[in-house]
Amino acid sequence: MTADQSIAVAFPADVVREGAVAPVLRTEGLTVRFGGLTALDSVDFEIRRGEIRAIIGPNGAGKSTFFNCLTGVLRPTAGRILFNGENIAGLPSNLISQKGIARSYQITNILPNATTLENVRIAAQSRRHGWSMLRHHSAYLDVIEKAEAVLEAVGLRAKADELAANLSHGEQRNLEIGIALATEPQPPTALPRRADRGHERSRDP
C-alpha cells in the first residue's frame, strides 16, 4: 500500500467541525519492507476525533501490515505513528493497548469456553483492577457493570450467560468488538479488521 493507493472514507462528513483539533491518530511516511518487498510505502493517514474511517483495497495491498504497525504487532521500517501526539511506532502491543488503542482481528479471537459476559468482563478488568488470588471477580461490581453495559451496546445483553462458542458468527464478531470496547480505548479508537467478503461467506451458513 502506498500513500497514493490507500483509500480512506469518512462517515459522516458533518461530524468533523472546521477548526478541529489535531488528529488523534496520524501516520507520517509509514514504511514497512520485508527484504526486497515494500508492503507500505510512505503512508500518510490521519483520524480526527469523531471520524470513522475505513482502509480498503485488494488482497496484498498492505491493509493487515498497516493495522499490525498501528497495534504494535510489527515494527515499521521507517516513519512515525502519532497517537494523541505521542510517537508509538515500534512500541510493543501491550503498551499500545494500555495507551488506548483496541483492535479486533480478521479471524474471530474470543474465549469460546467462557460465557459472553466473561469474555467482556476479563477485558474490562484488565483496565480497572489487577489480578488477585484473594478476591473473586464478582467482588468487582464496577467491572460487572461495565461488562453488562458493553454487552448492551453491542446487542448481546440477552446472551450474557451463553457460551461464546454457541454464538452465531455474527454475534461472535459483535462480541469481539465488545471485548475491544471493554478495554476503554480512547477517545475511543478501536480498529476492527474485517475479513474479505469471500472469507466471510465461507464461514456463514
Residue 35 clears pLDDT 70, i.e. is over it:
yes
134 and 148 housed in the same domain: yes
Q: Does residue 36 form part of some domain?
A: yes
Give the pLDDT score at 74. Answer: 94
Q: Does residue 2 form part of some domain?
A: no
**What is the tally of structural domains in the chain?**
2
The model's pTM = 0.66
Stretch among 90-99, 117-126, 138-147 having the lowest mean pLDDT: 138-147
Q: Which residue has the cell 476492527?
A: 192
Q: Say which CATH number the domain at 170 has.
A: 3.40.50.300
pLDDT range class, residue 193, cuts 50, 70, 90: low
120 and 205 housed in the same domain: yes
Question: 73 lies in which domain range?
Answer: 7-99
DSSP letter string, the chain:
-BTTT-EEEES-GGGSPTT--S-SEEEEEEEEEETTEEEEEEEEEEE-TT--EEEE--TTSSHHHHHHHHTTSS--SEEEEEETTEE-TT--HHHHHHHTEEE--SS----TTSBHHHHHHHHHHHHH----SSS-GGG-HHHHHHHHHHHHHTT-GGGTTSBGGGS-HHHHHHHHHHHHHHT--SS-EEE--PPPHHHHHHH--
Comparing CA positions, the residue from 45, 59, 74, 90 lying closest to residue 189 is: 45
Domain boundary among 99, 119, 138: 99
71 and 144 housed in the same domain: no
114 and 196 housed in the same domain: yes
104 and 205 housed in the same domain: yes
83 and 110 housed in the same domain: no
Residue 136, all three cell numbers: 473473586
Give the pLDDT score at 133. Answer: 53
pLDDT range class, residue 101, cuts 50, 70, 90: confident
Give the pLDDT score at 97. Answer: 85
37 and 82 housed in the same domain: yes
Tell me the percentage of the chain whose pLDDT exceeds 70: 74
State pLDDT tens for residues 48-81: 888 888 888 898 899 989 999 999 999 999 999 9
Domain boundary among 69, 99, 129: 99
